[in-house]
Structure 1
Amino acid sequence: MQHLSPTDANALLAQSPETLFIDCRSEMEYLFVGHPKGAHNVPWNDGPDWEVNPHFVQMVKKLAGQASARPVLLICRSGNRSSAAARALEGAGFSNVQYVLHGFEGDLDAQRHRNTLNGWRHDGLPWEQY
């Protein structure tokens, strides 16, 4: 498993359009906070109980077309969930899994705010909100 800066992850997506881009945040985060353009939402965990999604790997396999060698790039809010999700995919046989360091919203600053230090959105990379 490899982690990439948001800028490097965006470059990977441009260079390798076959890469499957998964946003593993909750559905509400994906819809209301925004998400990277082109990312599929497959929650690693979701409300109301916030338990790990037992269907996560199967959902990614379906999107990947059963090609475990297809590159997969994961993103979450800060990099924690995507790291755990990447380990699960590797354990299920995926051989080319990467995740975005600092995630979509980035690390907390001294005032406990996100989007001020790093992350996909902070770096000005393409994103959208419904």
Structure 2
Amino acid sequence: MGKERMAGFAGDVSVTEAWEALEKNPDAVLVDVRTDAEWNFVGISDLSSLDKSSVLISWQIYPSMQINSEFVAMMQQQGIGTTDPVYFLCRSGVRSRAAAEKATAEGYQACYNIAGGFEGDRDQNNHRGRLNGWKAAGLPWIQQ
């Protein structure tokens, strides 16, 4: 096999699996790929009890929602190493999966998508944050 790598990212994890990994592994990093508007108005994961902070790098730039062409370079600027386990978080798990796939394609070796995201799926009333995701699991978060 040599240096050949399997295509694709490391896989989906639940919010609780991501929390446990961040708690147990000092090298594990959470990258929140949502937009400035989401961070400011919806909230962000609070990793302070783990002596960590979420790394905030938008996968898509608000309001145009164009893919951030500097995304991987911004990860590198934040000191995220290619061997660090990286857990990507967005609102529901779609953008974070795309970001995990891109980072993997660019040489990152352990990229995980946090399925359910920060707010999770919509309920019968079209509201997020109640069925699944970071908030619904009762994991720490703060409003900026």
TM range (shorter): over 0.9
Q: Is the 8 A contact 1:20 1:64 kept in 2?
A: no
Distance, in Å, in 2 between the alignment partners of 1:11 and 1:44 is 24
Larger Rg: 2
* CA positional deviation for 1:71: 1.1
- For residues 100 and 78 of structure 2, what CA distance do their matches in structure 1 show? 15
- Write out aligned runs for 1:1-130 (5 A): 1-37=10-46, 38-65=53-80, 67-130=81-144
Distance 2:27 2:41 in 1: 27
Cα distance in 2 between the residues matched to 1:112 and 1:14:
32
Structure 1 residue matching 2:20: 3-state secondary structure = helix
Counterparts of 1:64 and 1:87, CA distance in 2: 19
What's the TM-score once normalised by structure 1's chain length?
0.95
- Given residue 60 of structure 2, which amino acid in structure 1 is its aligned partner? N
Note if contact 1:6-1:103 (Cα within 8 Å) is conserved in structure 2: yes
The runs of 5 or more residues in structure 1 that have no matched partner are none
Between the two proteins, what is the percent identity of the paired residues? Answer: 36
In structure 2, distance between residues paired with 1:114 and 1:23: 17
Q: In 2, distance between residues paired with 1:71 and 1:63?
A: 14
Can you list the C-alpha shifts for 1:62-112, whole angstroms capped at 9, x where unaligned?
Answer: 2235x2111111100000000000000000000011121100000111221
Unaligned runs of 5+ in 2: 1-9, 47-52
Q: 1:82 touches 1:99 (CA, 8 Å); kept in 2?
A: yes
- Cα distance in 1 for residues equivalent to 2:129 and 2:138: 10
Runs of 4+ in structure 1 off by over 2 angstroms are none
User: Given the two structures, how large is their TM-score scaled by the length of structure 2?
Assistant: 0.86
Give the secondary-structure state (helix, strand or coil) at the position aligned to 1:31: helix
